[in-house]
Amino acid sequence: MVLTEAQLKWKLLNGVICVYKNAGVSVNNVRRTLIGHICEDLCKLESRPPLNHVYIEGDPTKSLTVSVAPKYSDSPLVTGPRYQPQDVRCSWATILGRDTSGVFVIGINKGARAAQKFHLSRPTRSYHIKGQLGYATDTYFRDGKVVEKASFGHVKQAKLDRVLASVQAAHQKHMFQQAGVDIQSQTAYELASRGMIRPPANTVPLLYNVRCTYFSPPDFTLEVTCINEYESYLKTLIHDIGIQLHTCATCTGIHCIRHGLFTLEHALLPKHWHLKHILDSMQECHQLIQQTVNNTVENTSPTLVPAEEQKNSFVN
């Protein structure tokens, strides 16, 4: 049997892709849009013709006529498009909140299982979180109702850096508490020397690195590397930092710049969410994963949070 172009591309449509999610769009909308474009593009390709049906006509007492014609019940005019949204499986590795933009890893068809394995490998994610000093809202985000205002002229970058260092140190201490070891012990040193420490539970948010990349009051931007985080937690982080600075602060934007192996360079823009680009992205992501698996070596750095995070490996 010779496969048509649509059938061939359908068989290739199994893997992990990386897309760029815009802020204000839910993950379910991303999923629906992707599946809709995939089905639309597949239906435009050459597909199999309707199955044939054998017709036997005539008087049974005399000679009968046997003819073959396309089966009407298999025609796209009756059954609808050959490829429909319910035929495509699509799931994400880790959810992104509605107000978060950036790198979003998705598994399609058989790739849904690979996306789940990627999630279970518990990779870290990096964000650029924008904040604004001087006011607080009831949702900790810019679209909420303003509930408090405060002056921020006393806030300097040096003071912000000290607060961020304190936050990072507190989370590093919490890592060892989660591991059940004393931070001053030899066991803690040996644990840290094996690489980045991950909490035993996947429900405890931990920050591995927090630093300020932009400061122009009232606006500032933080770069955060973390695990087990969620959108409301990152919004609350900005609010809590404002309190420690003796003022108010509200989150104005959350941008995911890295998810494990995947960065913004690998993310498909919404205008490229079509079959050709999706298949290209699937191949690129597969090569990236395989290359990383082959080049992964054991991290022996004695630092608590290594400067270069050891790559997470999983087999697609």
User: What pLDDT digit, counting tens, does each position of 163-188 carry?
Assistant: 999 999 998 888 777 777 777 778 77
Tell me the mean pLDDT in the region 206-227.
95
User: What pLDDT digit, counting tens, does each position of 50-80 carry?
Assistant: 888 888 888 887 888 888 888 877 777 777 8
Confidence of residue 300 (pLDDT cuts 50, 70, 90): very low
| Domain encompassing residue 229 | 124-259
On the question of pLDDT at 196 being above 80, the answer is no
Rounded to the nearest 10 degrees, the angle between the axes of helix 157-179 and helix 231-244 is 130
CA 203 to chain centre: 17
- The answer on 282 and 191 residing in a single domain is no
Model pLDDT, residue 298: 39
- The answer on 272 and 253 residing in a single domain is no
* Domain tally, the chain: 2
In a domain, 23, yes or no: yes
Question: How far is it, in rounded angstroms, from Cα 129 to Cα 102?
Answer: 11
- The answer on 302 and 255 residing in a single domain is no
In a domain, 59, yes or no: no
Give CA separation, 32 vs 40, 90, 91, 267, in Å. 12, 9, 11, 18
Question: How far is it, in rounded angstroms, from Cα 42 to Cα 89?
Answer: 15
On the question of pLDDT at 297 being above 50, the answer is no
Please give the structure tokens belonging to residue 116.
């789940």
- The answer on 153 and 101 residing in a single domain is no
Q: Any idea what DSSP says for residue 35?
A: H
The CATH number of the domain where 194 resides is what?
3.30.2350.10
Tell me the mean pLDDT in the region 40-44.
91
Confidence of residue 264 (pLDDT cuts 50, 70, 90): very high
- The answer on 253 and 171 residing in a single domain is yes
- The answer on 255 and 134 residing in a single domain is yes
- The answer on 197 and 98 residing in a single domain is no
Model pLDDT, residue 25: 95
Confidence of residue 208 (pLDDT cuts 50, 70, 90): very high
Please give the structure tokens belonging to residue 224.
């955060």
On the question of pLDDT at 105 being above 80, the answer is yes
**Reduced to 3 states, what is the DSSP secondary structure of residue 60?**
coil
Question: How far is it, in rounded angstroms, from Cα 92 to Cα 97?
Answer: 12
